[in-house]
Amino acid sequence: MEDEMPKTLYISNLSGDVTEALILRLFSQIRPCKNGKMIMDTAGNNPYCSVEFHEHCHAAAALAAKNERKIKGKDVEVNRATTPSCQKKETSNHFHVFAGDLSPEIATGDIKTALAPFGRMSDARMVKDMATGKSK
């Protein structure tokens, strides 16, 4: 049952100068992190980070300790990135599309334009390398 419980947290409302390394350092103070990923749109707005822990109880402890705490002057929002299967919402008409090996020149707007003919889109984001600012 523990294996089905969420181990990943989603951290939002981050300052634009927060780095993946900083988030991992801060959250590892609670419990060791398995990995993390900073995601930022092409304009550098609305960054967020996901942090995965080794155990559900570690993620729960970090959620309790870090939610609504200040990081670089902003109150961050920490939520579970995944939900136990017994609590999942109906998503049969909701799909996620991940595309890789895109040219570094591709921007979020290009993806939205390319996918627009296929129907309504709730969101599109490019994963950026924080060091170079180019798409991953």
DSSP string, 70-104: EETTEE-EEEESS--GGGPPP-TT-------S--T
Query: Which domains occur in the chain, in start order?
Result: 2-82 (3.30.70.330)
Give the separation between CA 98 and CA 84, rounded to whole angstroms.
22
Give Cβ neighbours of residue 12 (< 8 Å, ≥ 6 apart).
46, 48, 76, 77, 79
What's the predicted TM-score (pTM) here? 0.58
pLDDT value, residue 136:
64
DSSP 135: B
Nearest-angstrom CA–CA distance, 18 and 36:
13
Distance CA 132, CA 67 (A): 29
Reading the chain (136 residues) residue by residue, the pLDDT tens digits are: 455 677 999 999 898 888 999 999 999 999 999 999 988 766 666 788 999 999 999 999 999 999 999 999 999 999 987 654 444 555 566 667 777 777 878 878 888 888 888 888 777 777 766 677 666 6
Contact 38, 95 (CB under 8 A): no
Instruction: Count the neighbouring beta carbons within 10 Å of the beta carbon of residue 49.
Output: 23
